[in-house]
Amino acid sequence: MAAFALAQDDMVNDPEGRDQARSMVITKFGIVATSQTLASQAGARVLEDGGNAIDAAIAANATLGVVEPAMNGMGGDLFAIIYEAKSGKLYALNSSGWAPAGLTAEMLRAKGITDMNRAGAYRVTVPGAVAGWQALHDKFGTKSFERLLAPAIYYAENGFPVTEIIAWQSSEKAHAKTPGFAETYMPGGHAPKVGEMFRNPALAGSLKLVAEKGRDGFYHGATAEKIVKFLNEHGNPMTLADLAEFQPEWVEPISTTYRGWTVYEIPPNTQGIAALEMLNIMEKYPIGEYGHNSAKALHVMIEAKKLAYADMLRYVGDPRSAKIPVEQLKSKSFAAERAARIDPARANCDPLPAELADRARAGNDTIYLSTIDKDGNIVSLIQSNYSSFGTGMVAPGTGFALQNRGGLFSLKPDEPNTLAPRKRPLHTIIPAFLQRGETRIGFGIMGGFNQAQAHAQYVANIVDFGMNIQAALEAARFTKGSFGGCDVQMESRIPENVRSELTSLGHKITVRGAYSGTMGRGEAVERIETGVNFGASDPRGDGEAIPQGPPLRMRAPGQR
């Protein structure tokens, strides 16, 4: 009876309950956090087999390309931030592909194309994901591609039950007539429903070539030839050389400090600079004193977003083709000037130069994953098709959709992001990393141009409001997908009285569901000084953070 009473006391040690729905995963071993449980499990099994966080990230990403095909896959791009525990060094990988050498803005304008979003097959840039796997593997990997891609190949060959949020019936109308889509993603004439088995044997074949030959199994040989032939038939001038000569780039992460923490992002051609500028602007205000998701805090954050994104759109492009003022954009003095533009009594509905006000379209179909191993190595990785299934175009016999990342190029002359041969477009996808002392957090939140603003909100949740990595992911968020106007979307968990106060300041609020996918889906892992690891996964997705199991020695029969 006494034991029962103690158990009851333990159950009510927090009589007020908590706002956090899920607990963190906590272990001394590794953790893999992704948006689909089969992918998290694939990565965790690699850790159990003796692989490290980088091995686990490759395995999880390859599996996500099978089980979450609208969001990512071999036809998309990849970025990663890697913390190497033995050296204490942070590395950043940009594996975003370039435009074909034969594609120019002048050519498309001559064809009457004035908007890259409507440029069909011309939006396909060289996919960078597989080259990214190779670069990660060459620098840090310990397991063979044959082992790392085995789970992805299994699910592609044998099938898997489609999960709730990932199910893609909504893509039928958009892509049913897109070349190659129905044959690949609509077996029997329809997209699979929740719980229905889906197989992709052509994708299994493409993955097997990479398992056998590494990047050469994608950028040379049969797969490359199929991609080029297919794209040429639809007007895109991509060549075998465009694929074969592409190489990822190891770059130096960019960073700023936020109230004693250091925040790292990938430098341009990504939007990571906008997250840093937004945080620098927010730091000029006592966000923590205002209260979490209070009208005052949200007003500052929304206004900071508008200013930071205005600058990002104006200046960011491929740094190999244009000089990007990175140091100025992330400087504290520049942020102070921009912060002074925020009117505490009124929303700014015109934060952009007029000529850029129409650049408000964005895809948001992306995956983000985090891995950590027992030694403290951390991978923060993001991979994407851009829009749902990218272009939706699938070269016969390949099994994966080709990205539409080129849709982010501008066709206006002499802009940092103007389309040019072998140039990389402005990129929305960004992994992130947060550190203070011996505490390190690999995190990210997918969702097109939602990402930088979601990163800033996540950091504020950790730093200003003392949340753990799971609570910070779950907390209600806002997002503004456009670059002009005062429109902003908010989850319904933000109180009605707060929304009313913001409306009185001029914000035009659209209320979304309590855990809306519009706000993006994130994952996070953390390492603290004691060597304990923590994992978190966003309830807005289908995934979870899965820990590595302990090493077990199986005894022979008769042994004790």
Tokens, residue 531: 């060597």
- Average confidence (pLDDT) over 165-192: 92
Integer Cα distance of 267 and 277 in angstroms: 12
Tokens, residue 428: 């929305």
| pLDDT in the model for residue 27 | 98
Integer Cα distance of 266 and 384 in angstroms: 15
Whose tokens are 């895109």? That residue is: 236
- Average confidence (pLDDT) over 545-556: 81
pLDDT at 317 > cutoff 90: no
Confidence of residue 320 (pLDDT cuts 50, 70, 90): confident
| pLDDT in the model for residue 173 | 85
Of residues 33, 64, 23, the one with CA closest to residue 525 = 33
pLDDT at 15 > cutoff 60: no
Q: Which residues pair with 523 in a beta bridge?
A: 444, 537
pLDDT at 424 > cutoff 50: yes
Give pLDDT tens digits for 124-153. 999 999 999 999 999 999 999 999 999 999
pTM above 0.75, yes or no: yes
pLDDT at 362 > cutoff 70: no
Whose tokens are 């000529």? That residue is: 355
Strands 439-445 and 522-527: antiparallel
Q: Report the CATH number at residue 334.
A: 1.10.246.130
Q: Is 437 exposed, middle or buried (0-12, 13-18, 19+ CB in 10 A)?
A: exposed
DSSP state at residue 557: T
Tokens, residue 195: 């719980």
Amino acid, single-letter form, for residue 125:
T
- Say whether 239 is catalytic: no
Confidence of residue 558 (pLDDT cuts 50, 70, 90): low
Whether 93 is in a domain gets the answer: no
Whose tokens are 């729905």? That residue is: 21
Given a contact cutoff of 8 angstroms between Cβ atoms, the answer to whether 416 and 322 are in contact is: yes
Whether 233 is in a domain gets the answer: no
Of residues 488, 519, 551, 468, the one with CA closest to residue 348 = 488
Whose tokens are 């190949």? That residue is: 153
Q: Which residues pair with 161 in a beta bridge?
A: 197
Where is pLDDT greater, at 15 or 418? 418
Give pLDDT tens digits for 51-82. 999 999 999 999 999 999 988 999 999 999 99
Instruction: For 18, list phi and psi in degrees, rounded to 5.
Output: -150, 160
Whose tokens are 């939006």? That residue is: 123
* Rg of the chain over all Cα atoms, to the nearest angstrom: 23
3-state secondary structure of 32: strand
Tokens, residue 290: 């205002």
| pLDDT in the model for residue 551 | 87
Which residue range is the domain that position 314 belongs to?
Answer: 251-361+430-520
Tokens, residue 161: 């039950």
Given a contact cutoff of 8 angstroms between Cβ atoms, the answer to whether 368 and 72 are in contact is: no
Tokens, residue 88: 């204490």
Instruction: For 468, list phi and psi in degrees, rounded to 5.
Output: -80, 175
pLDDT at 8 > cutoff 50: no
| pLDDT in the model for residue 493 | 97
Mean of all residue pLDDT scores within the chain? 91
Give pLDDT tens digits for 88-129. 999 999 999 999 999 999 999 999 998 898 889 999 999 999
Of residues 381, 383, 371, the one with CA closest to residue 65 = 383
Integer Cα distance of 482 and 357 in angstroms: 9
Q: Is 480 exposed, middle or buried (0-12, 13-18, 19+ CB in 10 A)?
A: buried
Strands 487-491 and 508-512: parallel
Whether 449 is in a domain gets the answer: yes
Give pLDDT tens digits for 452-478. 999 999 999 999 999 999 999 999 999
pLDDT at 13 > cutoff 80: no
- Helix (H) or strand (E) holding 297, with range, is helix 295-315
- Helix (H) or strand (E) holding 435, with range, is strand 432-436
Integer Cα distance of 459 and 481 in angstroms: 20
Amino acid, single-letter form, for residue 330:
K
In the chain, the number of structural domains is: 1
The one catalytic residue among 104, 366, 398, 428? 366
Integer Cα distance of 185 and 27 in angstroms: 38
DSSP state at residue 96: P
Confidence of residue 16 (pLDDT cuts 50, 70, 90): low
Instruction: For 183, list phi and psi in degrees, rounded to 5.
Output: -60, -30
Amino acid, single-letter form, for residue 56:
A
Whether 479 is in a domain gets the answer: yes
Percent of the chain, pLDDT > 90? 80
Whether 19 is in a domain gets the answer: no
Whether 330 is in a domain gets the answer: yes
Whose tokens are 């400087």? That residue is: 331
DSSP state at residue 255: E
Give pLDDT tens digits for 257-313. 999 999 999 999 988 999 999 999 999 999 999 999 999 999 999 999 999 999 988
- Average confidence (pLDDT) over 342-366: 62
| pLDDT in the model for residue 499 | 98
Percent of the chain, pLDDT > 70? 93
CA 538 and chain centroid, separation:
13
- Helix (H) or strand (E) holding 527, with range, is strand 522-527
Whether 51 is in a domain gets the answer: no
Of residues 164, 169, 161, the one with CA closest to residue 199 = 161
Q: Which residues pair with 92 in a beta bridge?
A: 81, 251
Whose tokens are 């891609």? That residue is: 149
Integer Cα distance of 214 and 64 in angstroms: 18
Give pLDDT tens digits for 28-42. 999 999 999 999 999
DSSP state at residue 427: B
pLDDT at 10 > cutoff 60: no
Where is pLDDT greater, at 351 or 434? 434
- Give the side-chain half-sphere CA count within 13 A for 211: 18
Whether 325 is in a domain gets the answer: yes
